[in-house]
Structure 1
Amino acid sequence: MPRKLSARHDRFALHTPFRIARGVKTAADVVTVEISDGAATGRGEGVPYPRYGESIESALAEIAAVRAALEAGAGRHEIIGLMRPGAARNAVDCALWDLEAKLAGKTVAALIGTPEPGPVATALTVVIDTPDEMARAAAAIADVPLIKVKVDASDPATAIRAVRQAAPDTALIVDPNESWDEALVRATMPVLVECKVDTLEQPCPAENDGWLAGYDSPVPICADESLHTVAELDAVAARYGAVNIKLDKTGGLTTALELAKAARAHGLKLMSGCMVCSSLGIAPALHIARQADWADLDGPTWLADDRAGGTRTEHGIMQPPTEGFWG
């Protein structure tokens, strides 16, 4: 039976505004792809990101452009040549993984040849607010293994110190989302050392990070917006000590696995990251998280209602989705 492809826009309201240096989000807008051959249906999700020139409309148009090829049987490796890296290809790639696993009667982990994903310690995010409010938010989750602190260029040192005082024993990631410049990185670095920050994530705009190649940072600096695919890895490895692998940047699990392997070969630390998304976007990322130094997969924890059967997170430990949810 010929395949059938469907793609749609789904929206998930957030229970709390998600505020970062780039703006405020009150809902997660995702593209959901389903590919069916009559015997089974594979599902995938992508989150188009305006920072990368993506929108729901552009992602749906990208998927529509390859409909004929997908319905004719194009697989994961074929779509790499048909679609650009990004959210649209991620949704398609993950749907193909899910379909492939179901048709083979195996799990995605078995297809990859790795252990099944288990519980993972994920960062929980403290978003930008007043230092007092950020301290309150951090105190409420001070028992979790890892906190990500969102900051901007407006007195980040005070915010970081407030969170550290409220959560004295928790590992910290600080994420300015490209809002700093070189001078602010250098000025804030003593505070990061003082507060025992594990990693500083993408402090400067990707187009202005060349100076990092000559900077001996006492705190590992992690590339996010500066790294999408293996093609950028040589330049990134000269500037950063870690990389954040998001399936919405790599264009799916297939190329994310390749990037993780290549990054390790370069001696880089790994973070498994996500956009604000549902558990359908997280389930494939767990295959990167199991080999990462840090997991930042709390996207579904911001949703007022997640997809049925999705991940569950308690005290910073994320449990995989229920059997049959994905992969």
Structure 2
Amino acid sequence: MLKLDYRVETHRLAAPFRISGYVFEESDVVVVELDDGQHRGRGEAAGVYYLGDGSPQIVAQLESNRAAIEACGSREALRQMLPPGGARNAVDCALWELEASRLGVPAHRLAGIDAPRPLVTTFTLGADEPEVMAEGARKYVQARAIKIKLTGSLQLDIERVRAVRTARPDVWIGVDANQGFGINDLPALVHAMVQQKVSLIEQPLPRGNEADLDGFKSEIPIAADESVLGLSDVPGLVGRFDVVNIKLDKCGGLTEALLMAAEGRRLGLGVMVGNMVGTSYAMAPAFILGQLCDFVDLDGPTFLKEDRVPGVVYKDGTIFCPDEVWGTSAAVAAA
């Protein structure tokens, strides 16, 4: 029998962060701990803001399912018990660490990865005036990949990307529209992004408008983010998107994320791992998934005033997660 504990934490951002339709100044996360009296596992979830899945909803779901969670025998059983979202993500990741602790191996070994490698990650620029974003790009001195948040204002967004490309002609650039455009704007957006040597366009259209992409040919790969939540959504991306962006908070944990990556590969899609803003507890399991991905966007802790100690390491444009951060939790008695 397991014992479920959780806490809500508020982490202040170092500066306001703007995307299409939202400005964020802090990140609330729910940290779940499961222990069996000898071993402990931890998981963190921020939820999915555009689905109304925040810390209050996560806590309510944990409480209403407390007995079932404490009696849960496996991660697969959890997938059947809770729907995709933050609550299942936090519990699933706690179960991964608990199992790793019981077996005395790092969690990445449970996923079939013997020696994780540092991963080139994007570093994200929130939407702002073009010159401000250009200066932000220059400050990302070690970045080898930059993701630019757009707002759906076509000409201003083009100027934003042009300013960043001028400031950093050396880096890989992707853009994230966060559902900000309509299909009529997409040809002009793609054309402008080709001129700026952009390599990926994330979620240009609103969730629910996926059919508008039927027959649309893009010179730049288009990634589905808000349009894909869990495993059941992946087949519907074929013929509309080129890449599936997997986030643990959306799909409900590392267990489903790994299944999504395998299904995406089977269907000929590129695979990406992304994140909601969170601490290193959230990046660590996503880092395991990132070992299997074409694109990695795991810069969440860089937006926070303070991260966990120990935490993931950012160096030379890469992210690396030492085993001691998460995935090898010590016995409860020694904690």
**Range into which the TM-score falls when normalised by the shorter chain:** over 0.9
Query: Does 1:293 find its partner at 2:290?
Result: no
* Aligned-partner Cα distance in 2 for 1:153–1:229: 26
Counterpart for residue 150 of structure 2: 151
Counterpart for residue 14 of structure 2: 15
Amino acid at match of 1:191: A
* Aligned-partner Cα distance in 2 for 1:153–1:111: 41
Query: Does 1:302 find its partner at 2:303?
Result: yes
Query: C-alpha displacement at 1:209, in angstroms?
Result: 2.4
Counterpart for residue 267 of structure 1: 268
1:317 to 1:324, Cα distance in 2 relative to 1, 3 A: closer
Query: Does 1:124 find its partner at 2:102?
Result: no
Query: Does 1:99 find its partner at 2:98?
Result: yes
Counterpart for residue 172 of structure 2: 171
> Is the CA contact 2:2–2:35 (under 8 Å) kept in the aligned structure 1?
yes
Moved more, 173-182 or 230-239: 230-239
> Is the CA contact 1:279–1:306 (under 8 Å) kept in the aligned structure 2?
yes
> Is the CA contact 2:137–2:164 (under 8 Å) kept in the aligned structure 1?
yes
Q: Secondary structure at 1:197's aligned position in 2?
A: coil
Query: C-alpha displacement at 1:45, in angstroms?
Result: 0.6
* Aligned-partner Cα distance in 2 for 1:303–1:143: 18
* Aligned-partner Cα distance in 1 for 2:275–2:247: 5
* Aligned-partner Cα distance in 2 for 1:198–1:138: 16
Alignment of 1:201-240 (within 5 A): 201-240=202-241
Q: Secondary structure at 1:301's aligned position in 2?
A: helix
TM-score where L is the length of structure 1? 0.96
Query: C-alpha displacement at 1:70, in angstroms?
Result: 2.3
Query: C-alpha displacement at 1:22, in angstroms?
Result: 2.5
Moved more, 115-124 or 277-286: 115-124
CA deviation profile, 1:229-280 (whole Å, cap 9, x unmatched): 1211121122100010101111000000000000001111111100000000
Q: Secondary structure at 2:200's aligned position in 1?
A: strand
Amino acid at match of 1:298: D
* Aligned-partner Cα distance in 1 for 2:261–2:157: 30
Q: Secondary structure at 1:25's aligned position in 2?
A: strand
> Is the CA contact 1:279–1:300 (under 8 Å) kept in the aligned structure 2?
yes
Query: C-alpha displacement at 1:106, in angstroms?
Result: 1.2
Query: C-alpha displacement at 1:84, in angstroms?
Result: 0.5
Counterpart for residue 250 of structure 2: 249
Amino acid at match of 2:78: I
Count of residues in correspondence between the two structures? 326
Counterpart for residue 333 of structure 2: none
* Aligned-partner Cα distance in 2 for 1:277–1:228: 18
* Aligned-partner Cα distance in 1 for 2:149–2:197: 16
CA deviation profile, 1:58-79 (whole Å, cap 9, x unmatched): 1111111221122224321111
Q: Secondary structure at 2:59's aligned position in 1?
A: helix
Query: Does 1:319 find its partner at 2:286?
Result: no
Q: Secondary structure at 2:214's aligned position in 1?
A: helix
Amino acid at match of 2:249: D
* Aligned-partner Cα distance in 1 for 2:110–2:126: 37
Structure 1 runs, 4 residues or longer, greater than 3 Å off: none
* Aligned-partner Cα distance in 1 for 2:49–2:324: 33
For structure 2, the residue ranges without an aligned partner over 5 or more in a row are 329-335
Counterpart for residue 331 of structure 2: none
Query: C-alpha displacement at 1:204, in angstroms?
Result: 0.8
Counterpart for residue 3 of structure 1: 2
1:176 to 1:128, Cα distance in 2 relative to 1, 3 A: same
* Aligned-partner Cα distance in 2 for 1:65–1:100: 24
Q: Secondary structure at 2:100's aligned position in 1?
A: helix
> Is the CA contact 2:106–2:323 (under 8 Å) kept in the aligned structure 1?
no
* Aligned-partner Cα distance in 2 for 1:15–1:84: 32
Amino acid at match of 1:311: V
* Aligned-partner Cα distance in 2 for 1:107–1:79: 21
> Is the CA contact 1:14–1:303 (under 8 Å) kept in the aligned structure 2?
yes
